[in-house]
Amino acid sequence: MKPFVGAIFDLDGTLLDSMDVWNEIDRIFLSRRGISVPEDYLQVVAPMGFRRAAEYTVERFGLPESVDALIEEWDALAIEAYQTRVRLKPGAREYLLQLKRQGVRLAVATASREAYFVPALKNNGIYDCFEAFTSLAEVERGKGYPDIYWRAAEKIGTAPAGCVVFEDILAGVRGAKAGGFYTVAVYDRHADADRLELERTADRCIRDFFQLLEEDSCPASR
């Protein structure tokens, strides 16, 4: 793998095994309104910022609720799950700790809300691995664009050319590559529809983080 001095990680579906939680939240939320979850829904909203996803949901389904009311309901469903049930993807903790020992500067770039991801990262013992956290609320555009990755790299003082981005969704990989980053696609079954295109687009694809540990895949530019 390309030598790097910084690493930027997506959370949901990449470090956090949380997509089943969102499938369940979507099912509960929409079933309360007599709506079945469309097959493409999670894929469409995944690259969006949290508020934009709420706006899209109101628009798509013609809901009478305000965006703020929808977010409040999502919060009620999601916060408990992130505090108690969300676990890490295989090998994630071990790989992060290895990178930290090697002096790699680590950052998060996520569409998630701080109220969700901070408890999950702390409960799983990796919160202190990161120097910086960046959410889509801080930038103009979604994960199909490089803005969030540029902002994360800026926070840890690394240039895109010396930084790797770990993502599970196609839009994220495309956005990071457009920004000049080396990209690693992390397998998540919820992105199976885009799997072939992910393999064609990303610089590297991995099944899990144990794969990198077995290869001792680590930065050489220290």
pLDDT tens digits, residue range 176-207?
A: 999 999 999 999 888 888 899 999 999 999 99
Residue 167 CA to residue 158 CA, distance in Å, equals 18
User: Tokens in use for 119?
Assistant: 């408890």
Residue type for 104, please? V
54, part of any domain:
yes
Question: What integer pLDDT is reported at residue 222 of this predicted model?
Answer: 30
Are 45 and 100 members of one domain?
Answer: no
Are 92 and 190 members of one domain?
Answer: yes
Are 207 and 131 members of one domain?
Answer: yes
Q: Position of tokens 């700790």?
A: 97
Are 95 and 54 members of one domain?
Answer: no
User: Tokens in use for 137?
Assistant: 């609320």
Are 110 and 171 members of one domain?
Answer: yes
Which domain does 204 fall in, by range?
Answer: 6-18+86-215
- The count of structural domains within the chain is 2
Mean pLDDT, range 14-28, rounded to an integer: 89
Radius of gyration of the chain (CA): 17
CA angle 78, 119, 24 (to 5 degrees): 20
pLDDT, one tens digit per residue, over 31-41 is 999 999 998 89
69-83, 101-115, 150-164, range with the lowest pLDDT: 69-83
The yes-or-no verdict on residue 115 having pLDDT over 80 is: yes
pLDDT, one tens digit per residue, over 157-183 is 999 999 999 999 999 999 999 999 999
Are 129 and 162 members of one domain?
Answer: yes
Question: What integer pLDDT is reported at residue 132 of this predicted model?
Answer: 98
Mean pLDDT, range 143-151, rounded to an integer: 96
Question: What integer pLDDT is reported at residue 216 of this predicted model?
Answer: 65
Contact 10/110 with Cβ under 8 angstroms?
yes
Contact 169/12 with Cβ under 8 angstroms?
no
Phi, psi of 187 (to 5 degrees): -65, 135
Domain endpoint, select from 84, 113, 138: 84
